[in-house]
Amino acid sequence: MSLEGAVQPFEFVACLELREMLGRVAWDERELLAGIEDAPADSLYYHTRSYFLRTHYLSAPYPNDFATWAAIQVRDRVLGERLAVVDPFDFGDVELLRADLISVIDAHLGSRGTVPRVDTGEPFHFMRSMLIDVPATAKAATLEEFRDGLARVDGSAIYYHFYEPARRRPEADPVRWLDAMGRHDVAARVRALHPSMSSLDGMRAELLAICDQALGVHGA
């Protein structure tokens, strides 16, 4: 049952990142491990998620900065691949993500006689980012308006609503809004999407396809 009209309209929010360097570097994989242990949550978000906000045109090998660094700068492709497969969207709590990254590196180091380090490449620079939210002009009181909003908002709004569940405002959760609207079918399909396997443009296309199908749009 649709509850359109009885629920607060959904407000799209775009965002921008202000990047901050933490002044900490890792020259080898043990230092990377230690850095991940100590890094603030914003740093883990930055290094595992915000690639999607930063990169549209030419991609790094992996969306996870730790994995890219291991593969490219340390030339330890095995660790790169093992870190790349850790999906940050599998973890509701950033501390669980931290624990998983640590255990992957720890296990990898345990299997090696020496600690792989940067030889001619660049060290890993720990960073973090602040997410500055900017209300978009789009609002949605119906599924049709939600679909239209998705189609025209800045890519950063797709990022804010679908890639940053921990740092966005609580009322900016589109799945919760869809559930409140009684569109549990759409909410379930959105919930089942895999942001880490998509670019922002790809994610937008998938979301539009879900809405079009739910709205019975011809060709969907």
Partner 1 sequence: MPEAIHLDDYRRVVPPQTIDLLRRLAGRVRGRSLLHVNSTRVGGGVAEMLSRYVPLFEELGVPVRWDVISGAEEFFRVTKSLHNALQGQEQAFTAEMLAAYLETNRENAARLHLDSDVVIIHDPQPAALIVFTRRPASAGTGREGGRWVWRCHIDVSRPQRRAWAFLRQFVTRYDGAIFSLPKFAQQLPLPQYLIYPSIDPLSEKNRDLTAEEVAATLDRLGVPRDKPILLQVSRFDRFKDPIGVINAYRLVKKHDDCRLVLVGGPADDDPEGAQVLAEVMGAAQGDADIHILVLPPAAHYEVNALQRAASIIVQKSTREGFGLTVAEGMWKGKPVIGGHAGGITEQIIEGVTGYTVNSVEGCAYRARYLLHNPALASQMGHHGREYVRERFLITRDLAEHLALMVTLLNA
Residue 85: exposed, middle, or buried by beta-carbon count in 10 A (0-12, 13-18, 19+)?
exposed
Note whether 143 and 1 are within 8 A (CB): no
Window 43-62: residues binding partner 1 (CB under 8 A): 55-58
Of 129-137, 171-179, 189-197, 205-213: span binding partner 1 (CB under 8 A): 129-137
Closest to 161 in 3D by CA, of 15, 1, 6, 7: 15
Residue closer to partner 1 (CB basis): 108 or 128:
128
- Using CB under 8 A, which of 125, 139, 142, 213 touches partner 1? 125
Q: Does 119 bind partner 1 (CB under 8 A)?
A: no
Minimum gap (Å) between residue 41 Cβ and partner 1: 16
Using CA atoms, how far apart are residues 183 and 39, in angstroms rounded to an integer?
39
Give the residue from 197, 175, 192 showing the smallest Cα distance to 184. 175
Q: Does the footprint of partner 1 cover residue 154 (CB under 8 A)?
A: yes
User: In angstroms, rounded to a whole number, what is the distance separating the alpha carbons of residues 174 and 121?
Assistant: 41
Nearest residue (CB) to partner 1, 3 versus 134: 134
Contact set with partner 1 (CB under 8 A): 14, 16-23, 55-58, 122-123, 125, 127, 130, 132, 134-137, 152-156
